A and B are shown apart, each in its own frame.
Chain A
């Protein structure tokens, strides 16, 4: 088994390359590399086709400009068509070595992957692709169908559930960093929170209020949890949160028995 780390480019939402983000003194790339080390000796970075920079690990160049994550996997199979390839995004700061070690090749399956416990969808960017997936991969790329999720759905999958329900939480926004820092400082503490939804959110959740047991540390973590649970169509920047009926910042810490309101954009007048 070999691993290919997707370091991606600029994250528009983060405003910088996520692999360099630091969490508890380590960059996300260093963290990802360290949890991979006991599983495989051969770890590569997926880089752009014209990348001439120096990197801490051996690299595999994309075969063409901006081919997306599937293009990275295609280049990996060109590098070694007989190996299983663990494709892994570097922005999964909750993922542990323990959970990652569960990804083992399965006979008769093209891929071993996790079902994200929060939304029950299989996760394409933390999955072990077997050599049998190379040919369908080449086919979808030739047809310019580059959605990794759709590609994963088309394969014969062995699906697993990670121990940590938030194992596949990905880091997309600055607010997520605070959530993760709090989680690693204080641990995952279980709390009971009353969550109120308004307008469009209550329609999508099919309820205006629910009691949730969560280990989220801040309002951000709670929002990401309920967003996935109810498949909300609005993203964090469009939502205003409140605790105990006062507007609060996304970084606000949650306490047991808090009442939280999540509000979509206001439309009075």
Chain B
């Protein structure tokens, strides 16, 4: 069920997990304030391939008690670390179709730089620190719990080491 407009404040500065489709315009409206001059939105979509295999369906599972509080910790850390006004993050669980939004992060700030930096930090940290897992079904009929791809694993290490190395190649 889509939350009504009167629920908007409860979305702001929250990390949430939901089975329902992500309502992007609603989130976009919720984060906006008169002081913000920039909003950065990242949408993570369900793609139809993983490491060379064709994906036909995807299921996300989570730790039902830990996932939301861990995500919330990351979101609050992001709010403290960057000069941003607000942040919102939503991750879906359950069965998703190709092309649907699996995760979305929004960051708002007075100037664009902070919103960009904060968004990157927020989405990377969510991917590596929130207990959520992906179960992929392939067009050849096989299915499995997938490990994070090697590029993501590298980035996760750089995060924890706070290293100044060049960013990994896009993958």
Q: Of the listed stretches B19-27, B80-88, B107-115, B123-131, name the one at the interface; the rest are far from the partner chain.
A: B123-131
B34 CB to closest chain A CB, in angstroms? 31
**Would you call A263 and B131 a contact (CB within 8 A)?**
yes
Q: Of the listed stretches B3-11, B141-149, B163-171, name the one at the interface; the rest are far from the partner chain.
A: B141-149
How far is B70's CA from A101's CA once the two chains are assembled, in angstroms?
51
Known interface pairs A198-B133, A199-B135, A199-B145. Does A266 touch B66 (Cβ–Cβ under 8 Å)? no
Contact partner of A268 among B127, B145, B153, CB < 8 A? B127
A230 CB to closest chain B CB, in angstroms? 15
Most chain B CB within a 10 A radius of its CB, from A240, A246, A263, A269: A269
Known interface pairs A267-B146, A269-B126. Does A200 touch B133 (Cβ–Cβ under 8 Å)? yes
Contact partner of A199 among B127, B129, B133, CB < 8 A? B133
Q: Does B14 sit within 8 A of A, measured CB to CB?
A: no
3 residue pairs, one from A and one from B, having the closest CB atoms? A268-B132, A199-B133, A200-B145
**Would you call A268 and B91 a contact (CB within 8 A)?**
yes
| Cβ–Cβ < 8 Å partners of B138 in chain A | none
Q: Does B102 sit within 8 A of A, measured CB to CB?
A: yes
Q: Does B29 sit within 8 A of A, measured CB to CB?
A: no
Q: Does A32 sit within 8 A of B, measured CB to CB?
A: no
| A-B residue pairs in contact (CB < 8 Å), sample of 24 | A198-B131, A199-B61, A199-B133, A200-B133, A200-B144, A263-B131, A264-B133, A265-B147, A265-B148, A265-B153, A266-B128, A266-B131, A266-B133, A267-B134, A267-B147, A267-B148, A268-B60, A268-B62, A268-B91, A268-B126, A268-B130, A268-B132, A269-B102, A269-B103
B140 CB to closest chain A CB, in angstroms? 18
How far is B144's CA from A269's CA once the two chains are assembled, in angstroms?
16
Kindly identify, within residues 239 to 269 of chain A, every residue whose CB is under 8 Å from any CB belonging to chain B.
Answer: 240, 242, 245-247, 261, 263-269
Besides the known contacts A265-B153, A267-B133, A268-B91, 14 further A-B residue pairs in the complex with CB atoms under 8 A apart: A198-B61, A199-B135, A200-B144, A247-B66, A261-B63, A261-B66, A264-B147, A266-B128, A266-B132, A268-B134, A269-B91, A269-B123, A269-B126, A269-B127
